[in-house]
Amino acid sequence: MTHSSIPSAQTVVLHCKAKGVKNIVISPGSRNAPLTFGFTEDSFFSCFSIVDERCAAFFALGIAQQLKEPVALVCTSGSALLNYYPAIAEAFFSDIPLVVISADRPTYKIDIGDGQTIRQDNVFQRHIGYSANLRQDVVHAEESIRRFGSALLTEDTIQASQEKVQVFNDNELNEALNIALKMQIPIHINVPFEESLYDYVENLTVEPDYVFPKTVKEEPISEMEDFTAIWNDSKRKMILVGVNPPNSVEKQFLNQLAKDPSVIVLTETTSNIHHNNFFPSIDGIIAPIEKSDRKDELFKALQPDLLLTFGGLIVSKKIKSVLRNYKPQHHWHVNEKKAYDTFFSLTYHFKTDINNFFARFLPATNYLESNYFKYWNSIKVKLESKREEYIGQIRFSDMLAFYHVANGLPDGCQLQLANSSTVRYMQLFAQKPSVSVFCNRGTSGIDGSTSTAVGAAVYSEPPTVLLTGDLSFFYDSNALWNRYIRNDFRIILINNGGGGIFRILPGNNERDNFERFFETTHGLDAQNLCKMYGFEYQAVSNSEVLKNSLADFFEESSAPRVLEVKTPRILNDKILLGYFDFISSEYINH
């Protein structure tokens, strides 16, 4: 096996190998050649080549999301690195461990007008777990070092200076990679290289010093008596579950919560939590209250004495508004790392895993006589009936398309959702319990949904379905520019001719330039993109054809497929807003 002749390149590769970072996503370049050479020459690593760095970063995020282990990104110097930033921010807020490795120019060539140079050190400072800025080797390109970088020669001899560089780089790499492993958070390793970049050696010239992360002892939960007393005295307890991995909460705990008459459990599509007694359509409960003359009375009836939250960020803006205006007396959040004060009422953070919390907490609790669940469940049942009634009478639209898709997904698939209107429409409908749902809700951007889904599909045992809107899809169309897309990969593209969510949001959509600068209307479809990238393509524009197409869409095929669903741009917002008007009568008559 051959290796780059540059010691720091060898050191980075060996540290990744020692720490079990097996998946490496590389974007082509020259300055990163020593790293590319080191990773691709070692069969320990699975290497992927993705040209577009923004797509590459989200592709790596999708792999890390599925494997729950660090995935490395490797790029050349200059603006290439900045294209990683959207995915790094997403990974930072979603607790996904990316190992970002950037090749850099020598420090003495920064800020002198040299090509492909930016200030790469600490460039992600506000959204990174650790920034390791490695030192340049002095035994490589010795003549250039003596001419331009003599300040790097800190000791009496070249060899002594290099030993100091090696110790520093080992320490930085140990610190960075251990943080990625322990904290499940992105880290950045910046590595300066002087030319020549393509020389190799048969034998390693470095012996890195590895320090492995210590087992993290979970913080003990403080005494429970005070908390169980609060729980047992609270007649209205609300549990709100945000982004959550599939099958991560033990069913016995969910069943116990479902039987408590003083508890209502609100679940989001991204929570992957299911039970007949839970409330999966939060906005369907709240939106009609907003239209009711009894709004204050009903919100006070919904207002919990105690709010318990776990999981990641919350999609529903409506529940956030309710809980900020009708605050619980107590708000507890359960998470091993962090607790956001989303509702400005946080009173305690249990720093533990949710199963550990429930195992310790629930045996000490009692069921309390309360009308809380019974009252809201009776409304939920009627609202679900009203929703089916409304669905049966509306014209083809976004809402009807999402309804058919939710019902037509194959059992056991992995569903990747784009952001904006896609995830919000899917919030209106209960999902099949066997379907695993993922969405980039750390920063909630539309920019990498397709790339994330493509990366996630690489190691997913069941087939992956991406459900996306038109702007998200076209924005990230370079996601299809790679050779790793499985034949069973499916994309359902809801094309309403623009950013339809802006017609739903508050504001005047009849103002001049609304269509151009907010809604961004277009006449694009995906047919030619599919032809270019080798996808099978089908377009539908009515309910019957959509239902029939879904019946065959997931069958085995010799190429990945796109089903483009074209909906009426002008009608969609009216049908959605009309839905909330239609079901609001249940509150008036209840």
Q: Residue 588 above 60 pLDDT?
A: no
Two tokens, residue 219: 């913080």
pLDDT over 70 at 443, yes or no: yes
Average pLDDT over residues 311-324: 96
Q: Extract the runs of DSSP E, i.e. beta strands, from 174-215.
A: 187-192, 200-201
Pick the residue with more confidence: 570 or 390? 390
Tokens describing residue 4: 């780059």
CA distance 550 to 565: 11
Compute the Cα dihedral for 312, 315, 320, 323 and give only its sign. negative
**What residues contact 327, with CB distance under 8 A and at least 6 apart?**
303, 343, 344, 345
In angstroms, the CA 459 to CA 369 distance is 47
pLDDT in tens, 482-500: 999 999 999 999 999 876 5
State yes or no: cis peptide before 196, omega within 30 of 0. yes
Residue 512 has pLDDT above 90, yes or no: no
Find the distance separating the first CA and the last CA of the chain, reported in whole Å.
75
Q: Report the pLDDT value the prediction gives residue 271, as an integer from 0 to 100.
A: 97
Question: Does the structure show a pLDDT above 80 at 534?
Answer: yes
Q: Which two tokens stand for residue 532?
A: 């270019």
Q: What is the mean pLDDT of residues 256-273?
A: 97
Q: Where in the chain is the domain with CATH 3.40.50.970?
A: 3-199, 396-567
Instruction: Please list the residues that pair with 308 across neighbouring strands.
Output: 239, 332
The class (CATH top level) of 396-567 is alpha beta
Pairing of strands 187-192, 131-133: parallel
State the Rg of the chain over Cα: 27
**Helix, strand, or coil (residue 174):** helix
Q: Which of 220-224, 254-258, 290-294, 401-405 has the lowest mean pLDDT?
A: 220-224
Amino acid at 217: K
Q: Which amino acid is at 367?
A: Y
Distance from C-alpha of 368 to C-alpha of 348, rounded to nearest angstrom: 22
DSSP H or E segment with residue 415: strand 414-417
Q: State pLDDT tens for residues 335-385.
A: 999 999 999 999 999 999 999 999 999 999 999 999 999 999 999 999 999
CA-wise closest residue to 103 among 211, 23, 198, 204: 198
Beta bridge partners of 539: 564
**Which pLDDT band holds residue 218 (cuts at 50, 70, 90)?**
low
| CA–CA distance, 536 with 589 (Å, rounded to integer) | 50
Asked if residue 516 has pLDDT above 80, the reply is no
Q: How confident is the model at residue 214 (pLDDT cuts 50, 70, 90)?
A: confident
Binned at pLDDT 50, 70 and 90, residue 221 comes out as low
Q: Is the pLDDT of residue 554 over 70?
A: yes
Looking at residue 91, its pLDDT comes to: 98
Beta-bridge mates of residue 469: 494
The predicted model scores a pTM of 0.95
Mind spelling out the 3-state secondary structure of 483-524? CCCCCCCEEEEEECCCCCHHHHCCCCCCCCCHHHHHHCCCCC
Task: Give the pair of three-digit tokens for residue 174.
Answer: 């140990």
Percent of the chain with pLDDT over 90: 86
Task: Let me know the angle formed at the C-alpha of 72 by 472 and 59, rounded to the nearest 5 degrees.
Answer: 20
CATH of domain 225-375: 3.40.50.1220
| pLDDT of res. 569 | 81
List % helix, strand, coil for the chain (3-state, nearest 5): 45, 15, 40
Residue 205 DSSP SS3 = coil
**Are residues 185 and 337 in contact, defined by beta-carbon separation less than 8 angstroms?**
no
Q: Does domain 3-199 have CATH number 3.40.50.970?
A: yes
**Per-residue pLDDT at 224 exceeds 90:** no
Judged by average pLDDT, the poorest of 135-139, 267-271, 442-446 is 442-446
587 pLDDT more than 80: no
Are the CB atoms for 257 and 263 separated by under 8 Å?
yes
**Averaged confidence pLDDT in the chain:** 93
Task: Residue 465: name the closest of 580, 573, 554, 371 by CA.
Answer: 554
- Predicted local confidence at residue 335, as pLDDT: 96
By residue count, the chain amounts to 590
Residue 113 has pLDDT above 60, yes or no: yes
- Asked whether the predicted pLDDT for residue 190 surpasses 80, the reply is yes
Of 98-102, 150-154, 246-250, 582-586, least confident by mean pLDDT is 582-586
- CA–chain centroid gap for 298, Å, is 34
For residue 8, give every residue at least 6 positions away whose Cβ sits within 8 Å of its Cβ, in sequence order, or none. 134, 135, 136, 137, 165, 169, 191, 192, 193
**Amino acid at site 267:** T
Q: What is the DSSP letter of 305?
A: S
Residue 566 has pLDDT above 80, yes or no: yes
